[in-house]
Structure 1
């Protein structure tokens, strides 16, 4: 995941040659039934899980069982599926995520969340503290963290140069292990963008939490599709932007006021 690289370190006008831990990045070209699907800039672990998660969140497969084989060699991943690969339209949306990627889904046709999951704010704070305690981030300063949690605690934590890549790896892991994603929630280290929201909706993950910011488009989509967004979780503070009724210790008067504002 990282290599020691020589560099010149400066401190108060003093310069010395020292080593520094630098996060690894690699291109992964993915083909499905012989056709190029994407090239992702990615951290070199959990590549199989990434491929499965990406194909699922892009609507290319409906379940991991649709995949006949995945062959990964160096920087290439070849996938064979049981059904023909959907024709890729020529007009692609370049997303704003780390590393860059492309989406083949019409954002206006995204599914609504179907889940009865509820959480309290203390559980959210504790999950953020646990998931984002990354020694790799401390060492390199160049990694995103995404954690998958359920009511019983941590399921899986993934680190990658791109938070979208990490989320796809999480989804792929869950699909391979037959985890009910409607009973889970996501913790992430970076901004909650519309693309992170889109992937959560496709996977039916009802809550996404970050210690960072979100975007207006992410909030608008989440409000219309039943996804709970929680941002700026730091110390005792947090911002709930949508579907606050899933947070059980918020007074009903407050969640009702938010719900009303969502339809303004």
Structure 2
């Protein structure tokens, strides 16, 4: 996940030579049914889970059973599906810092969340602290963390240079393990973007939580399709932007306020 590379460290007017741990970033070329669909700039871990999660959240497959084979050769992967003549809309490159849907984002065509999940603010605070304690982040300062949890606790925690890649990985892991994602929630270290929200909607993950910020588009999509967004979870503080009914200890009057405020 990282290599110690030489650098010159400056502190005030003093300079010294040293080694510093730097996160690895590699290109991963993905072909589906003989056609190149993706080049991901990603961390060199959990490739199979990433491929499964990406294909699922991009709706290239509807279930893991539609994958016939996944074959790796160096930095390339070839996937065969049960629908070999399915037309793919485009090719794309997923950069390490961002994702982006393969097709135009039409909110009305996105699925609505179907879940009875309920969490307390104390449960959210506890699991965010647990999920985001990353030795690799402390060491390198260059990694995102995404955790998948349910009411029983941790399911999977993944580190990657890109938070969208990490989200695809935990979704791919859950699909392989036959986990019902309607009873889970996602914790991430970075900003909650519209693409993160879209992936959660496709996977039917009802809650996404971050210690960072979110965007107006992410909130608009979440409110329209029933997803809960919680940001700035730091210490005893947090901001609940949508889906307040899933946070069990919020007073009903505040939930009503959140539901009415659609601006």
TM-score range, shorter chain: over 0.9
Any conservation in 2 of the 1:38–1:102 contact (CA below 8 Å)?
no
> Tell me, what secondary structure is at the counterpart of 1:103?
coil
Aligned to 1:79: 79
Unpaired runs of at least 5, structure 2: none
Q: 1:49 and 1:107 mapped to 2: Cα distance?
A: 27
TM-score under structure 2 length normalisation: 0.96
Aligned to 2:110: 110
Any conservation in 2 of the 1:94–1:103 contact (CA below 8 Å)?
no
Aligned to 2:38: 38
Any conservation in 2 of the 1:41–1:99 contact (CA below 8 Å)?
no
Q: 1:14 and 1:157 mapped to 2: Cα distance?
A: 39
Any conservation in 2 of the 1:71–1:77 contact (CA below 8 Å)?
yes
**CA deviations over 1:122-154 (Å, ceiling 9, x no partner):** 000001100000000000000000000000011
**CA deviations over 1:79-105 (Å, ceiling 9, x no partner):** 011112532335x78889715555236
Any conservation in 2 of the 1:206–1:226 contact (CA below 8 Å)?
yes
Any conservation in 2 of the 1:143–1:161 contact (CA below 8 Å)?
yes
1:240 aligns with 2:224: no
1:252 aligns with 2:252: yes
Aligned to 2:97: 98
Q: 1:48 and 1:85 mapped to 2: Cα distance?
A: 22
**CA deviations over 1:161-194 (Å, ceiling 9, x no partner):** 0000000001000000000000000000000000
Q: 2:105 and 2:88 mapped to 1: Cα distance?
A: 13
Any conservation in 2 of the 1:40–1:100 contact (CA below 8 Å)?
no
Any conservation in 2 of the 1:40–1:101 contact (CA below 8 Å)?
no
Q: Which runs of 4+ in 1 moved over 4 A?
A: 92-97, 99-102
> Tell me, what secondary structure is at the counterpart of 2:31?
strand
- Taking only aligned residues, the RMSD between alpha carbons, in angstroms, comes to 1.6
TM-score under structure 1 length normalisation: 0.95
Unpaired runs of at least 5, structure 1: none
**CA deviations over 1:1-45 (Å, ceiling 9, x no partner):** 000001001112111110000000000000001001110000000
Q: 1:171 and 1:117 mapped to 2: Cα distance?
A: 17
**CA deviations over 1:22-73 (Å, ceiling 9, x no partner):** 0000000000010011100000000000000000000000111111110112
Any conservation in 1 of the 2:41–2:96 contact (CA below 8 Å)?
no
- Matched ranges for 1:77-156 at <5 A: 77-90=77-90, 98-104=97-103, 106-108=105-107, 109-156=109-156
Any conservation in 1 of the 2:68–2:80 contact (CA below 8 Å)?
yes
Any conservation in 1 of the 2:53–2:172 contact (CA below 8 Å)?
yes
Q: Between Structure 1 and Structure 2, how many residues are aligned?
A: 262
- With over 3 angstroms needed to count, the CA separation of the structure-2 counterparts of 1:198 and 1:85, relative to structure 1, is farther
Q: Higher mean Cα deviation, 253-262 or 226-235?
A: 253-262
Aligned to 2:179: 179
1:24 aligns with 2:28: no
